[in-house]
């Protein structure tokens, strides 16, 4: 949610930003917000004047009674009653208009950074840099589900019986490899100076609407029936929610956290070949990084955070590239974002394994997260980034380390988490 003062003072900037995101249907919202804001301020002024009149009139009543001017005093008392009734009506109207204003403000997208390329959708994202040489071996690499099943490591059929499509059982060495990646990711981030955290896996609706746009919420979140609770789609949601309504001492900044959680997503509209395997599923596990900092430090943190993901995957012998997300591919709360994509030697192309996002003060404004500094209180900037999400990260690992004999080499970084094994072989 952007600052109302920005809309009041520079509505053309806000409108141009909407156009850059190819959301022209939202342009009328700007003028509607300005109109509602004007009405609310007029009501506030009217209410303040009535309260002043009520206070002065109340002071006069006692004096009039002491002077035995009973009729005039009673008239003043009646006026106070009338003012109170007017104030009730004004407050009700003000609350109603404020709710309308808030709902419209929540839909207007955050101002994107000047460096963001302009494009309609993810097809116009821009490659930034490649890390490692993408390699295609001279033997066939099977589909990820087939590789896992060859190790007796995947059972989606049973998961279909217990839970439904989009869920899975991981077993044996494949399950261990999956857990090894997450354990290594945890330690990797701790070594970078991040504080490790395991957050709640359910959050309330006021936290959900504080950390994401309505469109994302509708397409992603699973709601617990009969309760004001949602399953998290990423640990960023509950990690940022932890600071809701808090005033943080400036000397405690920056706050750099790395969190583990299972994640749950509807994946509305997901279909096709990749859904037969482990690429697009409703449940996965993830190591995340979250930073709260001053706005002037945000870009430095942004660049450090995505580089950590690149470093993590390269330490597992996985080639990756970074893509700058264009304006039309940015969620409404994001100022800037880039994806990290891993090389798939089977598909001979890259696929997304992580995303780094700078959100400015959007989440902080919605959740009232501020810092206390020498010059007063101010809203913090929030950032988040994927270290690894598995089983998607697992796909990249097994494809890039799959051998001609059907075995999978284990990168040196993961061997301590795999009992010292150098490779896993078919049962």
| Sequence-separated (6 or more) residues with CB below 8 Å from residue 150 | 142, 406, 426
Look at the block and give the residue holding tokens 């053309």: 12
Q: How confident is the model at residue 427 (pLDDT cuts 50, 70, 90)?
A: confident
Q: Does domain 4-105 have CATH number 3.40.50.300?
A: no
pLDDT at 420: 96
The tens digit of pLDDT for each residue in 317-356 reads 999 999 999 999 999 999 999 999 999 999 999 999 999 9
Are the C-beta atoms of 150 and 406 separated by less than 8 Å?
Answer: yes
pLDDT tens digits, 61-97: 878 888 888 888 889 889 999 999 999 999 999 999 9
Q: Which of 264, 261, 279, 273 is nearest to 395 (CA)?
A: 279
Average pLDDT, the chain: 93
Q: Which residue has tokens 């109207």?
A: 93
Which pLDDT score is estimated for 273?
41
The two three-digit tokens of residue 377, written as one number? 């209180």
* 281: helix, strand or coil: coil
What are the domain boundaries of the chain?
Answer: 4-105, 122-424
213 pLDDT above the threshold of 80: no
Q: For 299-320, how does the pLDDT look when each residue is reduced to its tens digit (9 = 90+)?
A: 999 999 999 999 999 999 999 9
According to DSSP, the residues that pair with 371 across neighbouring strands are: 248, 378
CA torsion through residues 387, 390, 394, 395, sign:
negative
pLDDT in tens, 278-298: 888 999 999 999 999 999 999
Question: Both tokens of residue 177?
Answer: 């490899």
Q: Is residue 266 scored above 80 in pLDDT?
A: yes
207 has pLDDT over 80:
yes
| Count of Cβ atoms closer than 10 Å to residue 183 Cβ | 16
Same topology for domains 4-105 and 122-424, yes or no?
A: no
Containing H/E element for 296? none
Percent of the chain residues topping a pLDDT of 90 = 86
Whose structure tokens read 């012998």?
A: 317
* Residue range 147-175, pLDDT digits in tens: 999 999 999 999 999 998 889 999 999 99
**Are the beta carbons of 132 and 341 closer than 8 angstroms?**
no
Contact between 343 and 400 (Cβ < 8 Å): yes
> Exposed, middle or buried, 307 (CB in 10 Å: 0-12/13-18/19+)?
middle
CATH number belonging to domain 122-424? 3.30.930.10
């Amino acid at each position: 949610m952007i600052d109302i003062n920005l809309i009041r003072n520079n509505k053309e900037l806000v409108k141009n930003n909407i156009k850059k995101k190819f959301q022209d249907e939202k342009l009328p919202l700007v003028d509607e917000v300005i109109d509602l804001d004007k009405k609310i301020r007029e009501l506030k002024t009217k209410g303040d004047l009535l309260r002043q009149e009520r206070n002065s009139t109340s002071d006069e009543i006692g004096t009039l009674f002491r002077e035995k001017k009973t009729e005039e005093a009673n008239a003043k008392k009646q006026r106070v009653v009338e003012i109170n009734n007017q104030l009730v009506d004004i407050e009700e109207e003000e609350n109603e208009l404020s709710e309308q204003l808030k709902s419209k403000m929540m839909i207007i997208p955050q101002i994107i950074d000047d460096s963001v390329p302009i494009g309609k959708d993810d097809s116009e994202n821009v490659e930034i840099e490649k890390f490692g040489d993408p390699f295609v071996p001279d033997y066939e690499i099977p589909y990820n589900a087939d590789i896992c099943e060859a190790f007796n490591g995947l059972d989606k059929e049973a998961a279909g019986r217990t839970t439904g499509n989009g869920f899975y059982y991981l077993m044996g060495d494949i399950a261990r490899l999956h857990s090894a990646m997450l354990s290594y990711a945890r330690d990797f981030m701790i070594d970078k100076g991040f504080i490790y955290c395991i957050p709640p896996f359910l959050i309330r609706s006021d936290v959900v609407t504080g950390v994401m746009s309505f469109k994302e919420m509708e397409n992603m979140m699973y709601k617990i029936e009969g309760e004001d609770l949602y399953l998290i789609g990423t640990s960023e949601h509950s990690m940022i929610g932890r600071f809701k309504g808090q005033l943080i001492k400036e000397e405690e900044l920056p706050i750099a956290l790395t969190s583990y959680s299972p994640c749950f997503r509807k994946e509305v509209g997901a279909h096709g070949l990749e859904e037969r395997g482990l690429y697009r599923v409703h449940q996965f596990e993830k190591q995340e990084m979250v930073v709260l900092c001053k706005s002037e430090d945000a870009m430095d943190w942004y660049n450090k955070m995505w580089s950590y993901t690149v470093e993590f995957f390269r330490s597992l012998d996985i080639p990756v590239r970074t893509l700058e997300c264009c304006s039309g591919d940015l969620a409404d709360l994001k100022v800037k974002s880039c994806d990290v994509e891993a090389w798939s030697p089977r598909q001979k192309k890259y696929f997304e394994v992580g995303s780094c996002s700078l959100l400015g003060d959007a989440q902080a404004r919605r959740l009232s997260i501020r810092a206390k500094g020498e010059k007063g209180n101010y809203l913090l900037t929030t950032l988040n980034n994927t270290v690894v999400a598995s089983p998607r990260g697992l796909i990249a690992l097994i494809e890039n380390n799959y051998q001609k004999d059907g075995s999978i080499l284990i990168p040196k970084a993961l061997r301590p988490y795999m009992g010292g094994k150098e490779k896993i072989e078919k049962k």
